[in-house]
């Protein structure tokens, strides 16, 4: 069974006919930023997530950066983040001049381990930033209890988790602030884009000021009251976001169904397992990525190269930050403190998973995996 086309790792769920006229209207208006589409996008997001405030920004990283800045986090402060995550989570902390303190993960959920959070709390700790990895809800009950006990902020990195639920609560809405990404690999895409949500009016105002160069409106005048950044989202991106939000529940339902079918096919193969696992009954994982763990005797980079040769686009699951030159060099971190994160980094891969994928593709991918594992004695 040969494949005559590339099976893409990800593919944004956008249909041109859904956005053609709105995009034409935006271009004809000449107003490409900070306009009515941005306001509409924020309004739809507020309603869907059931929050008081939503601030659309230029990326998920921008959302995290503004969230930490709005809380006054800076030099001398520490924020606890998971070691197994895309670097943006920790980088946003470091860009504020604070220290990103890395914590190990739970080996099954792949989310930050609450026990490791407590071990890393010091008198300098100001916040915890749990990541809902791959759209799987973190253990927010225990995390919020820890934050309350130690008087810490919680900034949820829900970049992969739009529509995911911890019990009956939307991921990103349980902490002081939540941050989302609309990169092409996320649940909905705006090309590049992000969102901050909060129920705190002061934090909302601060984020909006920081998003637009530190400007405040006073008596019809724009006053630069402090330093700020240009993290605005474009009207074109907001238009794509509106199209995605209008069908998000359909998108999530389809992803859950497809993940179950893919899991059924792959569970027959010896030498791999499908993660992450949902740890709380009633949680909803939105399957932003489809992750498999391979037998420890298999080199995942060789496996990824093999899959690519078979026209199957694959990638590592995520990164163990303590192994990367910046964090390893700055903080002299050791593998023994991040056993679960290191294991996840060395053994997990992301397989193609998106709305265009078919069951025939799943079967082809499964056969390729099985053939490789058999050839390696896996």
Q: What is the pLDDT of residues 54-80, one digit of tens each?
A: 999 999 999 999 999 999 999 999 999
Task: State the residue range of the domain holding 253.
Answer: 248-375
- Domain termination residue (choose one: 197, 221, 245): 245
Which has the closest alpha carbon to 310: 373, 369, 377? 369
Say if residues 111 and 257 touch (Cβ distance below 8 Å).
no
Q: Give the per-residue pLDDT at 2.
A: 66
Q: Give the per-residue pLDDT at 376.
A: 86
- Domain termination residue (choose one: 245, 270, 295): 245
Q: Do 272 and 365 fall into the same domain?
A: yes
Which has the closest alpha carbon to 207: 359, 325, 52, 85? 52
Q: Do 137 and 252 fall into the same domain?
A: no
Q: Do 63 and 103 fall into the same domain?
A: yes
Is the pTM higher than 0.85? yes
Q: Do 217 and 299 fall into the same domain?
A: no
Q: Do 293 and 214 fall into the same domain?
A: no
Q: Do 253 and 201 fall into the same domain?
A: no
Which residue is associated with the tokens 């238009």?
239
Say if residues 102 and 131 touch (Cβ distance below 8 Å).
no
Q: Do 343 and 196 fall into the same domain?
A: no
Q: Give the per-residue pLDDT at 18.
A: 83
Q: Do 136 and 153 fall into the same domain?
A: yes
Residue 145 neighbours by CB under 8 Å, 6+ apart: none
Report helix, strand or coil for 320.
strand
Q: Give the per-residue pLDDT at 296.
A: 78
Residue 232, both tokens: 């605005």
pLDDT mean over 14-23: 85
Q: Do 78 and 194 fall into the same domain?
A: yes
- Domain termination residue (choose one: 245, 266, 288): 245
Whether residue 240 is contained in a domain is answered as yes
Q: Do 305 and 323 fall into the same domain?
A: yes
């Amino acid at each position: 069974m040969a494949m005559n086309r590339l099976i893409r790792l990800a593919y944004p769920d956008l249909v041109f006919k859904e956005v053609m006229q709105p995009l034409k209207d935006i271009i004809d208006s000449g107003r490409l930023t900070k306009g009515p589409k941005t306001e509409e996008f924020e309004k739809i997001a507020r309603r869907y997530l059931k929050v008081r405030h939503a601030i659309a920004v230029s990326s998920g990283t921008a959302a995290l950066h503004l969230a930490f800045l709005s809380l006054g986090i800076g030099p001398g402060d520490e924020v606890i983040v998971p070691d197994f995550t895309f670097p943006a989570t920790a980088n946003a902390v470091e860009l504020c001049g604070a220290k990103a303190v890395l914590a190990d993960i739970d080996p099954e959920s792949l989310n930050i381990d609450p026990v490791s959070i407590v071990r890393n709390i010091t008198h300098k700790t100001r916040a915890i930033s749990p990541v809902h990895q791959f759209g799987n809800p973190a253990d927010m009950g225990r995390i919020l209890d820890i934050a309350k006990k130690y008087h810490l902020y919680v900034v949820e990195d829900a970049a992969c988790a739009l529509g995911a639920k911890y019990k009956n609560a939307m991921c990103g809405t349980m902490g002081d602030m939540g941050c989302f990404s609309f990169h092409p690999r996320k649940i909905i895409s705006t090309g590049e884009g992000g969102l901050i949500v909060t129920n705190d009016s002061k934090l909302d105002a601060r984020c909006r000021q920081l998003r637009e160069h530190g400007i405040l409106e006073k008596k019809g005048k724009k006053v630069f009251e402090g330093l700020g950044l240009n993290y605005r989202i474009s009207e074109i991106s907001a238009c794509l976001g509106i199209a995605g939000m209008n069908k998000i529940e359909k998108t999530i339902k389809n992803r859950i169904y497809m993940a179950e079918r893919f899991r059924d096919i792959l569970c027959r193969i010896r030498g791999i397992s499908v993660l992450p696992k949902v740890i709380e009954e009633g949680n909803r994982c939105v399957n932003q990525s489809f992750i498999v763990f391979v037998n420890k005797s298999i080199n995942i980079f060789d496996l990824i190269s093999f899959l690519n040769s078979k026209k199957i686009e694959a990638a590592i699951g995520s990164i163990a930050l303590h192994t990367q030159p910046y964090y390893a060099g700055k903080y002299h971190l050791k593998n023994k403190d991040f056993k679960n994160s290191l294991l996840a980094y060395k053994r997990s891969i992301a397989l193609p998973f998106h709305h265009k994928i078919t069951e025939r593709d799943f079967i082809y991918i499964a056969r390729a995996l099985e053939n490789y594992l058999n050839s390696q004695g896996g």
